């Protein structure tokens, strides 16, 4: 069966999303690009992708955001815009699929009815990397959408991991086929300094993003307790039993304090 949705967000340098689309080698119903640039720097170049004829992709859609809504916001938008999909594959724009990976992921979803997530890369701690993942409808129903208080980026994935620590789901972690992140295979990500394309494309953001990362770490400590960084969060957000695991807020003042300016 075809993949219902692949979604990605773009902030800088559309080269990467061109490469990503070129690497698709398995039938996909919808490929959606969230243009998170917010500065109209390459709108036309992205729009041109919607007119291309792709052997494996039925529909390429570009959504131009008037401003950067953050990583979690873009991930949520992918899910919301295709809310009838049984699952979503969400990927960094600087990923490229190795031949056979998408077929392997789609086959796994069809084979295991209760499969909640796929992480092709096992990641640092063997619990799955989030530069490329599949998330199924049963997981969103139980755990909700991603926490947009983590705007603009960093720890949106960690927050979701904390929700599942005490409520494990069925996951496939590690696949036979690999993928590229940046110019290196995903398993060589750190050795080759392959990621952080936004910082590389716009070095002026580096200091600001590093500071935001620490702010979001502090936010996570408030939400999940002191031990969240060793995967031992409190059972409930803010250690309050009355707060469900899928609880979400949008603290406007907090998010504004981290605004990137675009």
Phi, psi of 156 (to 5 degrees): -65, -35
- The pLDDT of residue 203 is 73
- The pLDDT of residue 231 is 96
Sheet arrangement for strand 95-97:
95-97, 179-181, 184-185
pLDDT-flagged residues of the chain (< 70)? 192-201
- The pLDDT of residue 131 is 98
Phi, psi of 235 (to 5 degrees): -65, -35
- The pLDDT of residue 200 is 54
Q: What is the largest CA-CA distance in the chain?
A: 52
- Give CA–CA dist 254/241, Å, rounded: 24
Question: What are 134-189's pLDDT values in tens digits?
Answer: 999 999 999 999 999 999 999 999 999 999 999 999 999 999 999 999 999 999 98
Give me the residue spans of the domains in the chain: 3-256
- The pLDDT of residue 101 is 98
Query: Of 3.90.550, 3.30.110, 3.30.310, 3.40.640, which CATH number belongs to 3-256?
Result: 3.90.550
- The pLDDT of residue 205 is 86
- The pLDDT of residue 192 is 61
- The pLDDT of residue 191 is 72
With DSSP H G I counted as helix, E B as strand and the rest as coil, what are the percentages for the chain, rounded to 5? Answer: 40, 20, 45
Question: Is 164 within 8 Å of 155 (Cβ atoms)?
Answer: no
- The pLDDT of residue 204 is 78
Q: What would the two tokens of residue 114 be? A: 């209760």
> Pick from 61, 42, 58, 39: which is nearest to 50 by CA?
61
């Amino acid at each position: 069966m075809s993949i219902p949705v692949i979604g990605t967000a773009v902030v800088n340098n559309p080269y990467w999303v061109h490469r990503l689309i070129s690497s698709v080698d398995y039938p996909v119903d919808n490929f959606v690009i969230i243009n998170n640039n917010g500065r109209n720097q390459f709108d036309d170049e992205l729009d041109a992708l919607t007119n291309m004829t792709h052997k494996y992709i039925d529909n390429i859609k570009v959504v131009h955001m008037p401003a950067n809504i953050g990583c979690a916001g873009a991930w949520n938008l992918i899910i919301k815009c295709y809310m009838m999909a049984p699952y979503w594959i969400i990927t960094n724009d600087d990923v490229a699929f190795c031949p056979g990976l998408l077929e392997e992921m789609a086959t796994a979803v069809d084979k295991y009815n209760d499969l909640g997530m796929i992480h092709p890369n096992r990641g640092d701690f063997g619990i799955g990397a989030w530069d490329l993942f599949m998330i199924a409808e049963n997981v969103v129903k139980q755990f909700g959408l991603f926490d947009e208080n983590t705007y603009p980026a960093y720890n949106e994935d960690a927050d979701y991991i904390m929700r599942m620590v005490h409520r494990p789901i069925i996951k496939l972690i590690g696949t036979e086929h690999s993928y590229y992140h940046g110019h290196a295979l995903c398993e060589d990500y750190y050795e080759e300094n392959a990621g952080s394309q936004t910082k590389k494309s716009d070095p002026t953001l580096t200091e600001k993003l590093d500071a935001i990362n620490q702010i979001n770490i502090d936010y996570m400590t408030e939400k999940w307790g002191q031990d969240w960084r060793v995967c031992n969060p409190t059972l409930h957000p803010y250690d309050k039993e009355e707060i469900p695991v899928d609880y979400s807020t949008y603290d406007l003042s907090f998010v504004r304090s981290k605004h990137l300016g675009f």
